[in-house]
Amino acid sequence: MRIVSVVGTRPQLIKAAALGPALRDRHAEVFVDTGQHWDEQMAGAFFAELGLPRPDHSLGVGGGGHADQTGRMLEALEPILVAERPDAVLVYGDTNSTLAGALVAAKLGIPVAHVEAGLRSFDRRMPEEINRVVADHLATWCFAPTPTAVANLAAEGITSGVVEVGDLMQDLASRAVAEVRDPHALAAVGSRLGVPLAPGGYVFATIHRAENRTPGALATWPGILANAARPDRPVILALHPGTRAALDDAGVVLPPGIHVVEPLGYRTTLTLQLHAAAILTDSGGVQREAAWLGTPCLVLRSTTEWSEAVGGSGGRMVLVGLDGDRARDALDRLAPPNRSAADARARAASLDLAPSGAAEAIVAALAAAEVAR
């Protein structure tokens, strides 16, 4: 098959890196980057690190509001799909790039393959929830990562073309484990960041969701991170450019104890997650990685589309929203300072993450559809 793959954000590049080699072994891929994460720090370096081919088409859409950004993607994608004449358009996840790719393809009568179909937070206030629901209902193939995702699709009447395939991000993480588990890898990261790092000697944090850039949220979560910091255990915050801009616009200065770093590469991020005392995040991708790595994780959201990560964590992952008391109690329970270093060392030493086989399952499903045509 001739397949146009549409990506635009760092998490989508991770998934494309996991799927791409298997996809290109069997099918002809045209790679399109919308530019939703538009700078070199947010996305550009990922191409080299993950071994991704440079895009066949780069749209350079960049930032903007949801309607403006999605509209410009629609305008830019349509002539590409008309010219490329693909047999299918493949989209990943729940971003504006996902929505635009699915909409343009469906309107042109091109079958849509949606990777990470069926995820639901059941919170329509999240832009991502709207994007994933629309993409699922337009898709010819819904590649679901979990049994719960399959059940969510069935509850909405979507059963045709649904295949449970596993998680592409787990496939890629399984390949990187050997490189990140050695404490010397952590020391090297600390040297690059200019802060000494030891196993269990810091808390890792990421904040990027739209709901955590509102004035009320910006007045709350910096205090949660500050309360998580100790003189001997700082918080390392990988700060998304959009979140930095929101903080600057609101005049919010992050409290002491929070060490801000720029967006990080894939393996650097995995290294920091694995060896941390705990993780504080609103990222769906980081939630899943924390679950696979076994690192205690506080989710700074009231809902999540990855309910199985929370339910299967044995209590190591907790939804705390922006409740400071709940966050403090969870951190004290999951990562007591007197145990953090030993726990982090034991976690890294015993880590053995198997791939899910998602890439092979997706390629096989597409190949079966090609035979059936």
Asked if the domains 2-167+356-372 and 172-350 are classified in one and the same CATH topology, the answer is yes
Residue 40 to residues 91, 214, 298, 330: CA-CA distances in angstroms? 22, 26, 29, 36
Share of the chain above pLDDT 70, in %: 96
Mind listing the pLDDT tens digit for each residue in 161-173? 999 999 999 999 9
* Whether residue 364 has pLDDT greater than 80: yes
| Residue 55, pLDDT score | 92
* Whether residue 309 has pLDDT greater than 60: yes
| Residue 35, pLDDT score | 87
The class of domain 172-350 in CATH terms is alpha beta
Examine the residue annotation and report whether 208 is marked as an active-site residue of this protein.
Answer: yes
Catalytic-labelled residue, pool 37, 57, 208, 275: 208
Please state the rounded mean pLDDT for residues 242-252: 94
Of residues 213 and 38, which shows the higher confidence score?
213
Mind listing the pLDDT tens digit for each residue in 262-299? 889 899 999 999 999 999 999 999 999 999 999 999 99
Share of the chain above pLDDT 90, in %: 84
What does the mean pLDDT of the chain come to?
Answer: 93
Domain boundaries, given as residue ranges, for the chain? 2-167+356-372, 172-350
- In this prediction the pTM is 0.91
- CATH 3.40.50.2000 for domain 2-167+356-372, yes or no, is yes
Give the separation between CA 139 and CA 137, rounded to whole angstroms: 6
Mind listing the pLDDT tens digit for each residue in 18-69? 999 999 999 999 999 998 765 555 555 667 788 888 899 999 887 778 888 8
| Residue 163, pLDDT score | 98
| Residue 369, pLDDT score | 80
Mind listing the pLDDT tens digit for each residue in 98-140? 999 999 999 999 999 999 999 999 999 899 999 999 999 999 9
